[in-house]
């Protein structure tokens, strides 16, 4: 049985052109990311849950503004502004579910589309944490067509953000131990 593709970032990854065209036409993309962080679950959760850390690991984030609801809790709404090569991209974030210290889900909306992101944290061996993130993108307008080209960029950006988060947590942990 052939595995269902999760993205259409390159035809060379086993997808035919007509399959890529179907992905672009429907304008959706589902991705899964995973990394193991050399820090305990409580430390990873505390770092992830702190909005002051966001600019440290999300390279293009310019601002994070809490709008309504209890910060970090279901129903909380915030505005995130990113600089994408000189163009401002504004995301509206709504936290949809939270199960501390293992699970945080949110809904993100911009002029380009909507995204559901689910983050799961679990103990992984001794003093390590596995972070798994599922992202379900639904593009709208011109981005439906462009999704065929930007999926690789989105994947690389998210992987780089996760790597920066991992480095931030591990560096902070090492500094605290000295």
The 10s digit of each residue's pLDDT in 128-152 is 999 999 999 998 888 877 777 788 8
Q: How far apart are CA 77 and CA 7, in angstroms?
A: 29
Confidence of residue 60 (pLDDT cuts 50, 70, 90): very high
Domain of residue 157, residue span: 11-50+97-177
Confidence of residue 3 (pLDDT cuts 50, 70, 90): very low
Measured N-to-C along each axis, helices 41-49 and 142-177 cross at an angle, to the nearest 10 degrees, of 130
Helix (H) or strand (E) holding 66, with range, is: strand 61-68
Q: Which percentage of the chain shows pLDDT scores above 90?
A: 66
Q: How far apart are CA 22 and CA 56, in angstroms?
A: 37
How many folded domains does the chain comprise? Answer: 1
Confidence of residue 17 (pLDDT cuts 50, 70, 90): very low
Asked whether residue 20 is assigned to any structural domain, the reply reads: yes
Which residues, including other chains, have CB under 8 Å from residue 161's CB and lie 6 or more apart?
57, 58, 59
Asked whether residue 140 is assigned to any structural domain, the reply reads: yes
User: What does the longest C-alpha to C-alpha distance in the chain come to?
Assistant: 56
CATH number at residue 113: 3.30.530.20
Which tens digit of pLDDT belongs to each residue from 150-164?
Answer: 888 889 999 999 999
Which tens digit of pLDDT belongs to each residue from 19-42?
Answer: 444 444 457 889 999 999 999 999
Asked whether residue 166 is assigned to any structural domain, the reply reads: yes
Q: Is residue 6 predicted with pLDDT exceeding 90?
A: no
Asked whether residue 79 is assigned to any structural domain, the reply reads: no
Asked whether residue 17 is assigned to any structural domain, the reply reads: yes
pLDDT at 13: 42
- The answer to whether the CB of 71 falls within 8 A of the CB of 94 is no
Asked whether residue 2 is assigned to any structural domain, the reply reads: no
Asked whether residue 57 is assigned to any structural domain, the reply reads: no
Asked whether residue 4 is assigned to any structural domain, the reply reads: no
């Amino acid at each position: 049985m052939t595995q269902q593709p999760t993205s259409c970032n390159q035809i060379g990854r086993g997808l035919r052109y007509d399959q890529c065209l179907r992905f672009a036409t429907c304008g959706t993309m589902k991705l899964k990311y995973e990394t193991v962080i050399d820090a305990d679950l409580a430390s990873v959760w505390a770092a992830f849950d702190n909005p002051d850390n966001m600019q440290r690991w999300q390279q293009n984030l310019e601002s994070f503004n809490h709008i309504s609801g209890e910060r970090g809790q279901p129903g909380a709404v915030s505005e995130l502004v990113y600089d994408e090569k000189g163009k401002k991209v504004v995301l509206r974030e709504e936290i949809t579910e939270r199960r501390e210290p293992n699970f945080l889900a949110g809904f993100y909306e911009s002029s380009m589309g909507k995204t559901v992101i689910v983050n799961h944290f679990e103990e992984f061996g001794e003093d390590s944490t596995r972070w798994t993130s599922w992202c379900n993108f639904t593009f709208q307008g011109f981005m439906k067509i462009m999704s065929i080209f930007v999926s690789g960029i989105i994947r690389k950006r998210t992987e780089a953000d996760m790597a920066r988060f991992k480095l931030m947590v591990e560096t902070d942990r090492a500094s605290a131990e000295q």
